[in-house]
Structure 1
Amino acid sequence: MLELQYELESKAAKWYATIDIANAFFSIPLAAECRPQFAFTWRGVQYTWNRLPQEWKHSPTICHRLIQAALEKGEAPEHLQYIDDIIVWESTAAEVFEKGERIIQILLEAGFAIKKSKVKGPAREIQFLGVKWQDGRRQIPTEVINKITAMSPPTSKKETQAFLSAIGFWRMHIPEYSQIVSPLYLVTRKKNDFHWGLEQQQAFTQIKQEIAHAVALGPVRTGPEVKNVLYSAAGNHGLSWSLWQKVPGETRGQPLGFWSRSYRRSEANYTPTEKEILAAFEGVQATSEVIGTKTQLLLAPRLPVLGWMFKGKVPSTHHATDATWSKWIALITQRARIRNLNRPGILEIITNWPEGENFGLTDDEEQVQVARAEEAPPYNQLPAEETCYALFTDGSCRIVGMNRKWKAAVWSPTRQVAQATEGESGSSQLAELKAVQLALDIAEREKWPKLYLYTDSWMVANALWGWLGRWRKANWQRRGKPIWAANIWKDIASRVEKLTVKVRHVDAHVPKSRANEEHRNNEQSKYKYGKAWQIDYITLPQTRQGKRYVLTMVEATTGWLETFPVPHATARNTILGLEKQVLWRHGTPERIESDNGTHFKNSLINTWARKHGIE
């Protein structure tokens, strides 16, 4: 349902109409051979259904697909459908009326019944799936707000659960929803007795106030001038993130959604940095469903996180597992690289959260995030005659006795020669800057017409892509304080004005196995989310509940993992796992990769794949 809401937000229509099919389930006859399985006894007499029963768990799916097939066969105009509810939209009432008439005609010809009372619109405001829609904005209906705000404090666990169910659907409208209602969830736990105290009453009052003043979400806008900003933060009790959009001329951005959740299991023991990375990771995943993965995202955590991701190694003080760190690094670094307009997919900014104040970047920040210098191509794509102008830089630091010693190095791949310089009382970040200075020394000394600079420092790459201009304009200060290593940056800025420098960020410290994996991931990035998967079976250390193997399914563009435990690694179980975990949740993919085992490559799976159009 959320996917439909996100898509409807992106339409930003002026007029809407909705169509609700009357008795949709009972319009679908059951085949004679299927009727025995729906037999039941009432007052000593045996009956069976001859129409699709409403309470059967597969009825909604069957009904949705049959209506969808009828609309596709009749070549229905653009619309959105959820089971037997349909909505159309356009910029004028006449266009909406025409589209609605066409869809009603197709449904009637397919044997479905339409009541006039079930057709709403054309109208500028309309309710669809319980949500109020206007100009592409998603809002809480007034009657829902009145109902929630009129509720009395619960007197039992059951009443508390009913209240939480009533407000939970609207959680994306409420900043830090999870933290606000956490005292209410405490009284619903089986191990706790029901006790309505001061903490619960305060949470109850606050969440009703938040519902009453909830903001509209959307519309989702696209285009080069649209800025998508993800604010993420880790608090004492959980994670929060929110997605905002701003276009030129707006003094305040438009929120697209607020998310929050409490810490799970060992997450509460993570270091502060790990918690911030987790919040950013969750935020990137959630916002990708709203704005996709191809748009640029300005990431605004309360602590910088991108630097850790591009180091490619786990800090020694970490609490999260290596597998968790690998998951964070894989998603965020790959998402950062998905761009075709000479801009990375994710840029990091540090600013204040927008709640309670005007949202927006400063003029200088807006300028730097949009204007970016030309990026150097990958080294293996350089023309052969220009590889001699390419240099790779790196910096490191180590502690010797009581002193810190740094080392900066530059390597020429064509000459197979490295040049280095050393110093004391510095950090690895300082060494990265010294390495850039060393590279500029070589280019100037040999009078190169240009320099292709390949650095593993995300800070250096961003500075050369645009930050230097902002710093110079601000007199090498930020918020009234001199920027770090201002003198070195000034020197670099003055020298790059006289020499054409193109820079590219690279991962220098990765093992060959990970580099090969990253190359495969880049090859798979041509697919949209959910269209390419890698699957394999792993064997459990011991049989649990009769299950000995686990089918693992990894989404190729994000690294999202789905699992399906099975007793045996067979072709039939492979198909069952893919249908339940992939096709039903993520849609039909275009490609699935696996090894050549018989549980992946045989006539049964080949026939199934051809039927679904899967490569």
Structure 2
Amino acid sequence: MAKRARVTVDHAYWVGDEIYTNVDGVPYLVDTGAEVSMTRKCLETKGHLTVQLADGTIKKTPFGVWKGIVWVLGPYNLMTITDLRELHGSPAGRVPLKKRLEILGAKLIQMGSTPLKWYKPVDIPEVTKQKIEESDLSPEGKKALERILSQAGVARFKNDCGDMGIKYTHTIEGGVHPPVRQYPLNPGAVAEMDLIVTELSELGVVREEPNPITNSPIQAVRKPESSGGGWRPVINFKALNRRTVANRASLINPQGTLKTLRLKKYKSCIDLANGFFSLRLAKASQGKTAFTHKGKAYVWERLPQGYKNSPNVFQSAVMDILDGLETTIYIDDVFIADDTEEDHLEKLRKVSDRLTAAGLKLNLKKCQFGQFQVNYLGFQVSNDLGLSDGFRKKVEQIDPPTSLNELQKVLGLCNYVRDHVPSYQKYARPLYVKLRNEEPEGSHKKWEWTATDQKNLENLRIAIKGALRLEPRSLTTKLVAEVSCNEDDAVVKVCNEGAGIVTMWSYTLSSVEKKYPAEEKELAVLARYWSTLKDLAQGQGIRVLTQSQVHRFLRKATVESTKATNARWGRWEDILLDPDLEIGPAQLVGKRKTRSDDTPSEPLEWTLYTDGSRKGTDKEAYWGFILKHKERERSRQRGRVPGSAQTGEVTAILEGLLELERRRVKRARVITDSYYCAQALNEDLSIWEENGFESAKSKKVAHENLWRKIAELRLTMELEVVHQRAHTQEGTHWQGNEEVDRFVQMRQVVFVGIEKWEELPKGRVVPEESVKEVVQAVHGALGHAGTVPTRRELEKQRLWIPEREVRRILKDCELCGRYNAGRRGQRVGGLTIKSTVPWGSICMDVAGPLGVPGRGGEKYLLVLVDSMSGYVTTKAVRKANGNSVVSMLDQVCGYLGVPKELRTDNGTHFRNAKVDQWCQKHGELMRRPFTSQEAGRGLEDTEPKLEQKVPLQVGQRVWIKAQVGAPNAAVKAKYDKSDIVVKILDSNTVQLKKKGIQGVGQLKPVPY
């Protein structure tokens, strides 16, 4: 024993469950459970022990006892022996200290005389100095960084790994797979495999297993010469992975990680050393990882590489360790960024402390600290993202592939940066064609790499050399995606609104998609990348710019020559209805005329303020408007309408526009506090009108009839629509909006002098001079409802007026007369509104096959019905096909004119090339009917004409229909034996000789 020497304790700090202290500037590991009072004590050296370190050097290291703990100073840590009771016992039962140190089995202290061949130490002080010099920190910041690294756990040699403890122990879920045969290794790789297996055994990563329950083969894979050559062991865990329950935790895609990076001034990248080897494997699961080398079986005690759940399990553990810190993690790579040096160093310290406390070690050689530009996941990260110099060098060093497998590796390397290369698919397609046309390896066909193939590879290399620098996704702006398609390819360029490119996607259309029209091609591409766009948007809106006339109300029936299936269209329509999506041609989307409530409006003489309201106790909605000319009020009206407050708002706009039309106003401003109405008037109304007021799901838009009339009125005037926020004193028009709101909130019609009117049991008798005023007031308050609602409202207010007087006064109502002129339409909210102008929209349908053909063999009846007037035109034809439909359209439209739109079902009679050509020739819009019954509503009116086409004669022999089906049933009707007509009772009924009375529709003439 040497002379006792006292050493001073600088300070103590915890790392996980262990306590460290600095003794004379050297870190010592003090055993678990040591009191913090040691910071006021000192360690006493009992003597020195001669040991041989793992690198082969021999040193004398001090040892001593502190509070019953035997400690020994190693090259980097203090090794301890916690149980000192034997040392206080009799010498006969005491285990020698040297023997006890051997029992410890320390990684850094090796008893013996043979140096370890696998031990490749890292010069930690030199690497630390280099990393500090590479940083862009200030001198004070570099000193702080040095202190952080001095307390961080770092890897001291090549395969050095930490220990994350029992908390993160992983259990392999699944059964045991049958053993897989171990094939002989390459003779040149055996020696290196021996060294690696020995190293992993001494590090506690694997252990020898005398009784293995299964086996996975080990294979030697040659390393590239650029990496120094040699061999790398790979365990083929295919059988294990098939039996293992997959960990469904979402592993972040590296490209997705890069696109969501928060780029700030100071950046650091931390690489964790041998991360998988730091995570323990449960004892019960170790047997499933068995492998064989040189006749001995080994099992993994730590998480192995090649096991399918390793990346997910390890990344989840690291994310749990760094939870609450703003970091980006991809498996064992941690990215940190901050705007100020102080914040960055503080976060770096917290990250380092947490990782070290959890038992993880840093790979200092691959780490980057406090730099303005770093390399992360193969990219240069500064103010934007670009290809790193290392990746460019890899691409430049690509050799001509000598096998199918090597070509796959080349394409895999290039695909990693495809988002940075415009039209990447165009350059890579020839090589993929080569890949598909080649037979799989093992076939007798010889691999051939031609000059053309090499030229294609060079073109791809040149395209990658010109890769764009991208910027991460912004959290404060919309995501803009520009979709462009040609005959074979599609390109999607994704940008931050008003900023740079985030990513670029190129895609080769499938053989089916190449046949699509332009609209369907763009929708197919949008559907392919929609989920990725939603992820990139991060809660912000998405604006999609197209080349064709795609809009969010597009549906299959409005697309010319549609080729896609209904199932695809169902998916596309769901996307188009997404509230975050804004889609349309590039020249229109984002460039429509918009006006906020704070933007000064152009001077217009007429201003219309509208409002709709419905309180909780109200059974109906109230509407009203105030019309002003040069800030002077000219008119105000209000009323009630069944429905919601939204219905009241739309009704107010319609009533106001009718008032403008009556005054022959051509230019006006409409102020509304309903965003729905402002959006509809500014953008949606024209699309609704084009689609027949149907949504993308073929459903009617809300308040269809009101919007139809508004659309007609807009054709006669120029409107500027402004959305004014309700109940706020912000914007230019808040005062007028508040005024109309107060006006609409008035719920009762008050008559002056009502207390003087004579009161009878049935109510107060309204004087003759006030009858017209009272009826018109109540009628107007009800939104110009009919006679019956007006009478009921008078009864509610205890006012008695004869019903004939009410009818007479309402008959002269100017507004109702304007609504109810001509054919009576559908009543909506007490108002009768026509759908469209005469012969502007017609419905067409076919009836048949008929039971009895006409004189010329006509079996079908084509029916045309005018949507407004109900005018019916029919034509009997022998066949219902495109020729007969076009013939009737030419005949009818020759003297009535070509309508604006033709509404039909999707039957083959109308959906064919003949009818499509006719519609294109005349500029016709073909759509489905408003309702399924609309196209055939005139069939009942055509029965007399039909009966004239198929008369029966007395004495005629007929077949009797045996089975009654629909008139247009697809199954051919069956007939019984023939009979003779004895008497014709009426135009649709006859009496037969044997069968009695039958309808004409049940008979079929028998040919003579």
Asked if these proteins are the same fold (TM beyond 0.5), I'd say yes
What CA deviation, in whole Å up to 9, does each residue of 1:347-405 have, x standing for no partner?
534249xxxxxxxx9xxx6584685899x999998996765469xxxxxxxxxxxxxxx
Take 1:181 and 1:80, find their aligned partners in 2: how far apart are those partners? 31
Question: Contact (CA 8 Å) 1:232, 1:283: kept in 2 or not?
Answer: no
Task: Report the Cα offset of residue 230 of structure 1.
Answer: 1.4
The AA in structure 1 aligned to 2:486 is G
- Check the 8 A contact 1:52/1:59 in 2, yes or no: yes
Q: Do structure 1's residue 350 and structure 2's residue 350 form an aligned pair?
A: no
Alignment of 1:280-291 (within 5 A): 280-291=526-537
Residue 355 of structure 2 is aligned to residue 139 of structure 1: no
8 A Cα contact 1:231 1:301, kept in partner: yes
Tell me the alpha carbon deviations over residues 243-301 of structure 1, each in whole angstroms, 9 at most, x when there is no partner: 12244xxxxx4001101211235222222221122233335443222222x32333211
In structure 2, relative to structure 1, the CA distance for the partners of 1:307 and 1:30 (3 Å cut) is closer
Choose which of 238, 260, 278 in structure 1 pairs with 2:524.
278
In structure 2, the residue matched to 1:207 is 460
CA distance in 2, matches of 1:246, 1:370: 19
Shift of 1:128: 1.8
Tell me the amino acid that sits aligned with residue 525 of structure 2. A
Deviation, structure 1 residue 40: 2.5
Q: Spell out, residue by residue over 1:411-462, the C-alpha distance to the aligned partner (whole angstroms, 9 max, x if none).
A: x99369xxxxxxxxxxxxxxxxxx9998764353689997779789979625
Distance 2:427 2:263 in 1: 31
Match in the other structure for 1:254: 500
Structure 1 counterpart of 2:692: none
DSSP-derived class of the 1:81 partner: strand
- 2:311 and 2:395 map into 1 onto residues whose CA distance is 28
Tell me, yes or no, if the aligned pair for 1:219 and 1:256 is still in contact at 8 Å.
yes
Superposed displacement of residue 464, structure 1: 9.1
Q: Write out per-residue CA displacement over residues 112-169 of structure 1, whole angstroms, 9 at most, x where no aligned residue.
A: 222433431111111122222112x221112312331343554543333222111101
Deviation at 1:51, TM superposition (A): 1.8
Q: Structure 1 residues 130, 190: closer, same or farther in 2, change over 3 A? A: same
Residues 1:217 and 2:470 aligned together: yes
Question: Equivalences for 1:461-472 in 2 at 5 Å?
Answer: 461=683
1:107 aligns with 2:355: yes
Is 1:179–1:237's contact at 8 Å kept on the other side of the alignment?
A: no
Are 2:405 and 1:158 aligned?
yes
| 1:20–1:86 Cα contact (<8 Å) kept | yes
| Inter-CA distance 284–459: structure 2 relative to 1 (3 Å threshold) | farther
User: For the residues of structure 2 that align with 1:349 and 1:4, how far apart are their CA atoms?
Assistant: 29
> 1:101 deviation in Å?
2.1
Give the letter aligned to residue 461 of structure 2.
K
Structure 1 residues 264 and 455: CA distance shift in structure 2, 3 A? farther
Q: 83, 87, 91: which one pairs with 2:331?
A: 83
Q: 2:425 aligns with which of 175, 178, 188?
A: 178
Residue type of the alignment partner of 2:460: I
* Aligned mate of 1:492, from 714, 717, 724: 717
| Structure 2 equivalent of residue 306 of structure 1 | 551
Unaligned stretches of 5+ residues in structure 2: 1-251, 440-444, 600-608, 626-638, 644-650, 664-668, 688-711, 723-732, 741-834, 836-1008
Provide the aligned C-alpha RMSD in A: 4.5
Question: Aligned partners of 2:257, 2:535: CA distance in 1, in Å?
Answer: 8
- Residues 49-108 of structure 1, C-alpha deviations (whole Å, 9 max, x = no match): 222212222222222222233333xx5x22122222211110133432322222121121
Question: Measured at CA, do residues 488 and 380 of structure 1 come closer, stay the same or move farther in structure 2, by a change above 3 Å?
Answer: closer
Residue 330 in structure 1 maps to residue 574 in structure 2: yes
Is the Cα contact below 8 Å between 2:265 and 2:338 reproduced in 1? yes
- The separation in 2 between residues aligned to 1:438 and 1:95, in whole angstroms, is 60
Select which of 117, 139, 151 maps to 2:365.
117
Contact 1:232 1:240 in 2 (8 A): yes
Task: String of CA shifts for 1:523-555, please: whole Å, max 9, x gaps.
Answer: xxxxxxxxxxxxxxxxxxxxxxxxxxxxxxxxx
Q: Distance in 2 between matches of 1:317 and 1:379?
A: 43
Residue pair 1:70, 1:107 contacting (<8 A) in 2 also: yes
C-alpha separation in 1, matches of 2:576 and 2:615: 27
Q: Which residue of 2 aligns with 1:553?
A: none
Alignment match, 1:546: none
- Aligned pairs for 1:432-581 within 5 A: 441-444=657-660, 461=683, 491-494=716-719
Which residue pairs with 1:430 in the alignment?
none
**CA separation of 1:314/1:366 partners in 2, compared to 1, >3 Å: closer, same or farther?**
closer
Verify: 1:320 aligned to 2:559, yes or no. Answer: no
> Is the Cα–Cα contact under 8 Å of residues 623 and 652 in structure 2 kept in the other structure?
no
The structure whose residues are more often helix, as a share, is 1
Change (3 A) 1:379 1:44: farther
Counterpart pick for 1:14 among 265, 271, 289 = 265
User: 2:786: which partner in 1?
Assistant: none
- Mapped to 1, the partners of 2:527 and 2:277 lie a distance apart of 45
Offset of residue 188 of structure 1: 0.3
Measure, in 2, the Cα distance between the counterparts of 1:205 and 1:378: 67
Pair 1:46 & 2:326 matched: no
Aligned equivalents of 1:370 and 1:203: distance in 2? 52
TM-score normalised by L of structure 1: 0.57
Q: How many equivalent residue pairs?
A: 410
> In the TM superposition, what is the alpha-carbon distance from 1:308 to its structure 2 partner?
4.9
Q: Say which one has the larger Rg.
A: 2
Higher relative contact order, chain-length normalized (CA < 8 Å, sep 6+): 1
When residues 112 and 454 of structure 1 are mapped into structure 2, their CA distance, relative to the original with a 3 A threshold, is closer
Identity of aligned residues (%): 20
Change (3 A) 1:329 1:29: same
Q: Go from structure 1 to structure 2 and tell me whether the alpha carbon gap of 1:285 and 1:85 turns closer, same or farther (over 3 Å shift).
A: same
**In terms of mean alpha carbon deviation, does 85-94 or 162-171 score higher?**
85-94
Q: After TM superposition, give the deviation of residue 218 of structure 1 in Å.
A: 1.0
* Separation (CA, whole Å) in 2 of partners of 1:463 and 1:183: 47
**Cα distance in structure 2, aligned partners of 1:347 and 1:381:** 33
Mean CA deviation greater in 316-325 or 7-16: 7-16
SS in 2 for 1:320: coil
Give the partner amino acid of 2:338.
E
